[in-house]
Amino acid sequence: MPSQASESKSWKHWRLESDLDGIAWLTIDRDDEKVNSLGTEVLSELDQIITQLENNQPTGLVLMSGKSRNFIVGADVREFDATDKVSELEDNVRKVHGLFQRVEDLAFPTVVAFEGYCLGGGLELALCFDWRIALDADHTRIGFPEVNLGIYPGFGGSGRSIRVMGGLQAMQIMLTGKMLRPRAARGLGLIDQTVDQHGSLRWAARGAVLKKKRSAKPPLKSRLTTLGPVRKFLAGQMRKQVRGKARPEHYPAPYELIDAFEASGNSQSAMIRLEAEKVPRLLAGDTSRNLRRVFRLMESLKEQGKRSDFKARRVHVIGAGVMGGDIAAWCASRGLEVTLQDREMKHIEPALKRAGSLFKRRLKKPEAIAAAKLRLRADVEGTGVKRADVIIEAIFENREAKRELFSNLTKDLQSHTLVATNTSAIPLDELSDVFDDPSRLIGLHFFNPVPKMPLVEIVYGKDTNSDRVNDGSSFATQIGKYALPVTSTPGFLVNRVLAPYMRNAMKMHREGVPKEALDKAAEKFGMPMGPVELADTVGLDVGLGVIDTLMGEEAGEDRKILESMVKSGKLGKKSGEGFYRWKKGKPQRDAKAHEGHDLDALADQLMQPYFDECRACLDDQVVEDADLLDAGMIFGTGFAPFRGGPMHYLESRAAEGSAAEQEEQS
């Protein structure tokens, strides 16, 4: 063991101990918080500690965390809204720059040794140390997620990451917000050493201090990416890549970072000076404010999954189509034992093949892939029903077929088993009365594609057992999804809003607006894809089922068009043709079809039914409040995150209109 501490001193959020070798061991352990974040008070105490270390000059300094399986998740996002005055934000950023520079300038060896999340401001602080050690564990992640909050690293991270990794690799990490595993981070130079056991962190840190270890410079080819001509070329390529995912008027942060890199990417100090100019303006802007709101909404959805201690080990999925197969594969990828049932093995085999592809993409390591394949078993006979903790029905959207299936299940169910339907729109009370206890059935409504869509609607009726709803929310959280409790009205929340929106798009298309113009207008507004492409992606057969449930014959001509397309085998992306022809997973568009159309006016017309239905859902109490509605529409339909959610957007637009009126009157 390292030499025992001979003296110690505590602050509210930090402990400083000195061992017999003269090494100072600094521990961050934020008071009354589950995770460490760099709030104003935490940083103020660190300033005092650095002053003491500057005066006392220990043999070396080691920074660790007092939180189990967690280092520093970043700056305290809750404090970002304390002011929107750019001048105050600039002062705050420059104070942190000064503090972190003092850490970097300490005249003795410094080492940071951590496990768990080392993100954002936590990573920026770690980069000030001479040597960085991480525990090579599944729960350790390293990265800069700031772009997801509409900013980029503002505590010196842009300059220091380029110094240790080179321009190209550092920019890729910052622009994507990607979180790295320890070995990948070590390969890039972001950390210097990994250890395999928690107990080794202190030994490794002590050894690094005594050996006065310092990070090596990045390889020559990485350093070359910061040279002027290369930098200019790379900046142009980066802008092209970012434009494919985000418009500059919607998401300015990545473009501001690229501009800074092009201007000063060969100088750590210049990059850091630009942070103090650019990041405060971004923090005060609408995009960052709204994305911070989305972050809070995401946290509120996570809370929905903490209402119960329910934990599943075994899941049984009935229906091996695209949805059922992908739900089964996703659960297996998250460590659960899964049995997948369908009428014949030939229906299950394609799902197992898709599952193999998912495991390769998600799990990477051969042993993890092999283990996931073993956890997912074909089960034509349905033997998994008797052992399952969760049963999910995911057959085709037909009321009578689902009722028959559930009536055949009842004799084999365990009392604790959570029974759920993945119906897209059928109300629970039209299915649950086949059970002796109708209150036990809930809806677990996943969205397509299951691996990419983060939301699951937890559907309940007026008689549903609330404990089952809480268990369903916990299960969704267990498998890495956001749980949104919704009442069992036709279409629930997401499909109820999407149906009139997509029907409106079909009507506008029928009246002569090119599908490409409709999709481009929606994308310009900020939707991840247009309504026509979305209909093809979800599947026109699924869309027809939703329209039948929600509107029936009232859907009129739009229903007839869908029915005709489905009967002719045009199901959308999965069949290769719907409204679009699809090649290699991409819709084939007429690149000029949108020309001559006012896309902003089209977007207003296109989105109106979406907003109207959101208001109606709130009035009907489909969800508890406007915040949960906004969360559901962002994570369930991809509603433009930079706008903060549909209800927030409408409220902001109304406030702007009112302010404009007052200005005119004055």
Give residue 663's pLDDT.
Answer: 67
Backbone angles phi, psi at 455, to 5 degrees: -100, 145
Domain count, the chain: 3
**Judgement on whether residues 260 and 185 belong to the same structural domain of the protein:** yes
**Judgement on whether residues 483 and 563 belong to the same structural domain of the protein:** no
Going from the C-alpha of 117 to that of each of 195, 584, 591, 604, the distances in angstroms are 16, 37, 44, 42
Give residue 666's pLDDT.
Answer: 60
Choose among 442, 443, 486: nearest CA to 618: 486
- Beta-bridged to residue 443, according to DSSP, are 421, 459
Q: With a cut of 90, say whether residue 411 has pLDDT above it.
A: no
Q: How confident is the model at residue 1 (pLDDT cuts 50, 70, 90)?
A: very low
Instruction: Say which range, 290-294, 560-564, 584-588, 597-601, has the weakest mean pLDDT.
Output: 560-564
> Is 660 within 8 Å of 521 (Cβ atoms)?
no
List 316, 445, 509, 594, catalytic entry: 445
d(CA 498, CA 157): 41
**Judgement on whether residues 564 and 483 belong to the same structural domain of the protein:** no
List 161, 422, 424, 504, catalytic entry: 424
Residue 437, burial from CB neighbour count under 10 angstroms (0-12, 13-18, 19+): middle
**Judgement on whether residues 430 and 322 belong to the same structural domain of the protein:** yes
Q: Does 516 reside within a domain?
A: yes
The question of whether 648 is a catalytic residue gets the answer: no
**Judgement on whether residues 368 and 505 belong to the same structural domain of the protein:** no
CA 13 to chain centre: 29
Q: With a cut of 60, say whether residue 422 has pLDDT above it.
A: yes
Residue with tokens 């942060």: 253
Supply the pTM of this predicted model. 0.88
Stretch 581-609: mean pLDDT: 93
d(CA 595, CA 618): 37
The question of whether 457 is a catalytic residue gets the answer: yes
**Judgement on whether residues 539 and 577 belong to the same structural domain of the protein:** yes
Q: Does 631 reside within a domain?
A: no
Range with the largest mean pLDDT of 130-134, 400-404, 652-656: 130-134
Going from the C-alpha of 316 to that of each of 123, 326, 363, 378, 421, the distances in angstroms are 41, 13, 22, 10, 12
Give residue 552's pLDDT.
Answer: 66
Q: With a cut of 90, say whether residue 561 has pLDDT above it.
A: no
> Is 379 within 8 Å of 325 (Cβ atoms)?
no
**Judgement on whether residues 486 and 521 belong to the same structural domain of the protein:** no
**Judgement on whether residues 516 and 451 belong to the same structural domain of the protein:** no
The residue with greater pLDDT, 301 or 561, is 301
Residue 583, domain CATH: 1.10.1040.50
Residue with tokens 């100088």: 267
The question of whether 495 is a catalytic residue gets the answer: yes
> Is 491 within 8 Å of 481 (Cβ atoms)?
no
Residue with tokens 């105050």: 88
The question of whether 424 is a catalytic residue gets the answer: yes
Give residue 538's pLDDT.
Answer: 82
Stretch 90-108: mean pLDDT: 98
Q: Does 262 reside within a domain?
A: yes
> Is 506 within 8 Å of 558 (Cβ atoms)?
yes
Tens digit of pLDDT for each residue in 5-16?
455 678 999 999
**Judgement on whether residues 418 and 339 belong to the same structural domain of the protein:** yes
Give residue 657's pLDDT.
Answer: 73
List 146, 275, 393, 457, catalytic entry: 457
Stretch 274-295: mean pLDDT: 96
- How many CB atoms lie under 10 A from the CB of residue 511? 7
Q: How many CA atoms lie within 13 A of 160 on its CB side?
A: 25
Q: Does 294 reside within a domain?
A: no
Residue 149, domain CATH: 3.90.226.10
Q: How confident is the model at residue 244 (pLDDT cuts 50, 70, 90)?
A: confident
SS3 at position 661:
helix
Give residue 617's pLDDT.
Answer: 96
CA 181 to chain centre: 17
**Judgement on whether residues 439 and 382 belong to the same structural domain of the protein:** yes
Q: With a cut of 90, say whether residue 24 has pLDDT above it.
A: yes
| Average pLDDT of the chain to the nearest whole number | 93
Residue with tokens 């080492």: 111
d(CA 370, CA 367): 5
What six digits make up the tokens of 162?
């380029």
Q: Does 154 reside within a domain?
A: yes
Instruction: Say which range, 277-286, 339-348, 544-553, has the weakest mean pLDDT.
Output: 544-553
Q: Does 549 reside within a domain?
A: yes
Instruction: Say which range, 320-334, 422-436, 475-489, has the weakest mean pLDDT.
Output: 422-436
List 290, 432, 495, 504, catalytic entry: 495
Stretch 258-274: mean pLDDT: 97
Q: Which domain holds residue 42?
A: 5-284
Q: Does 293 reside within a domain?
A: no
Residue 462, domain CATH: 3.40.50.720
**Judgement on whether residues 73 and 138 belong to the same structural domain of the protein:** yes
Tens digit of pLDDT for each residue in 296-320?
999 999 999 999 999 999 999 999 9
Single-letter code of the amino acid located at 158: S
**Judgement on whether residues 384 and 336 belong to the same structural domain of the protein:** yes
d(CA 271, CA 143): 18
Residue 165, burial from CB neighbour count under 10 angstroms (0-12, 13-18, 19+): buried
The residue with greater pLDDT, 55 or 410, is 55
